[in-house]
Structure 1
């Protein structure tokens, strides 16, 4: 393989395509372009989706367990009941996403952006953020405007930027010490709210 060929990484371009039910586990999908794609029920376990673009993708029930989604752009995606268990979500952009009933337990969300993301439960299934890392030190997770009523937060730790909407009607906004107290009341281990 020539040096020029090895410097150019091939990537998957599947915008507006239907991958429903596919198994893409363990694949290197770095930089994949899957805008507006139907990825319902797709298995991405242990896949590398770093720098991938999944803006407005349909991800209901997709399984990203232990996947690497560092710097992925997932703005506006619909991912109810999706699984991100143990996923690496460094600097992922999940603004305006729907993650109702998703499993983000043990995920690492350093510098993740979840601005106005819906993390509420759906169909009696609660969104799980159990034992996840919500940012750390200089890399807080941005939860400004996120709707988090009913989230399971046992053992969660890290640092976040608020304010967060914490009631069922998404009208009660908490920030600062009030938000830290709310996290603690939900069973979080240690969540610091930063400015």
Structure 2
């Protein structure tokens, strides 16, 4: 290579990728693996992945719109910067998945295992997270808004100095959580488990 020239493979990594939209399908793992070979941003619209094993796949920046993901496995999948809108994903498995900067909106995510997932800077807005398990997640910058966390396992998580808007923690396990100096705007804590939970300076309104 001549001095000062650009490495083509290096430059290619920074080129904007094309987008492939898949609509109204029920893709299995083989179909998704074939799509990933296209090296494009994948958009799944109105697709049904119920019960499909997508564990350990690299789906970074993919978009899921109006999708059904009941009991779908995303175990240890790479899902950074993904977007999920109006999806139904009850009992799906996101254990050990990389979800950094992922965005979830208006989705039913009940009884999902997020155990040991990377959720730094991820956000949940207008979602149902009833019965969700957040055990041992990494969550720096994680945010919730207008979301049901009824019966969720949030043990030892820190919400310190956060403004919590319309979060329903009813029956949630908040043992060891840190709510110091947090501001609660709406929502509730009815029958939540609060053993060793800290509320010093919190505004419960």
TM bucket, shorter chain: 0.7 to 0.9
Aligned to 2:58: 28
Say whether residues 1:167 and 2:186 are aligned partners: no
Q: Report SS of the residue matched to 2:146.
A: coil
Say whether residues 1:99 and 2:99 are aligned partners: no
Residues 101 and 123, structure 2, Cα contact 8 Å, conserved in 1: yes
Runs of 4+ in 1 over 6 A off after TM superposition: 191-195
From 194, 202, 205, the counterpart of 1:186:
194
Instruction: Quote the offset at 1:109 in angstroms.
Output: 2.5
Residues 176 and 194, structure 2, Cα contact 8 Å, conserved in 1: no
Aligned to 1:53: 83
RMSD of aligned alpha carbons: 2.7
Aligned to 2:153: 128
Taking the aligned partners of 2:45 and 2:74, their CA distance within structure 1 comes to 17
Instruction: List gaps (5 residues or longer) in structure 2.
Output: 1-7, 18-39
Q: More strand per residue: 1 or 2?
A: 2
Instruction: Quote the offset at 1:156 in angstroms.
Output: 3.2
TM-score for both structures, normalised by structure 1: 0.75
Taking the aligned partners of 1:19 and 1:162, their CA distance within structure 2 comes to 38
Taking the aligned partners of 2:104 and 2:141, their CA distance within structure 1 comes to 14
Instruction: Quote the offset at 1:167 in angstroms.
Output: 2.4
Q: Report SS of the residue matched to 2:148.
A: coil
Q: Assess, with a 3 A threshold, how the Cα gap between structure 1 residues 112 and 141 changes in structure 2: closer, same or farther.
A: farther
Greater relative contact order (CA < 8 Å, ≥ 6 in sequence): 1
Taking the aligned partners of 2:121 and 2:49, their CA distance within structure 1 comes to 25
The count of aligned residue pairs is: 171
